[in-house]
Amino acid sequence: MARTRRQPTERILIAGGVEDLSEIRRQLEDLPENAYGQVFVEVALDEQVRILPAPPRVTVTWLVRSARASAVSPLVFADHGEALAHALTGWAAEWCVADCEPRTSVWIGCTDSPWVERARSVVQIELSDAGFDTLVG
């Protein structure tokens, strides 16, 4: 089946923390109107949630740490990067399947979190196992 002009040739995954908001906003503004995919943004508090300029088929999910329990017992709320890491590994398990079309572009920020660094590795492995040749930025 031939692609039509409205069908996307690529899906996107953009993920980061509050410190990455300017880059996430820039990337969203550069997307074509027919882009589709997922954006995850981790913030500490509800007050940090903002409206982002996403195309209609791009879902923006805000992960508020103060609303989530941590897997680390002495912590009351989720650690920096913890919620984002869980979202990334869940996304990879669902979307990184062999012979899936279209191509996937991935950008992951929150580089100062060991949680996210581990999740970045999982996403890269899942993309490779599914046959994608996409660099995780």
pTM: 0.83
Helix (H) or strand (E) holding 126: helix 114-129
**Torsions phi, psi for 36 (to 5 deg):** -145, 155
Given a cut of 90, is residue 113 above it in pLDDT? Answer: yes
10 touches 104 (CB < 8 A)? yes
Distances (CA, A) of 106 to 31, 43, 47, 83, 101: 13, 20, 27, 18, 15
Query: Mean pLDDT of all residues in the chain?
Result: 84
Q: Does domain 10-129 have CATH number 3.40.50.80?
A: yes
Three-state DSSP at 43 gives: strand
Question: Domain residue spans in the chain?
Answer: 10-129
As a whole number of angstroms, the distance between CA 101 and CA 75 comes to 40
pLDDT confidence of residue 1: 40
Given a cut of 90, is residue 25 above it in pLDDT? Answer: yes
33-81: per-residue pLDDT in tens? 889 999 999 999 999 999 999 999 999 999 998 888 787 777 778 888 8
Which of 83-115 are b and which e, b meaning 16 or more Cβ less than 10 Å from the residue's Cβ?
bbbbbbbebbeebbeeeeeeebbbbbbbeebeb
Instruction: Cis check for the bond before 8: say yes or no (omega within 30 of 0).
Output: no
| DSSP 8-state class, residue 4 | P
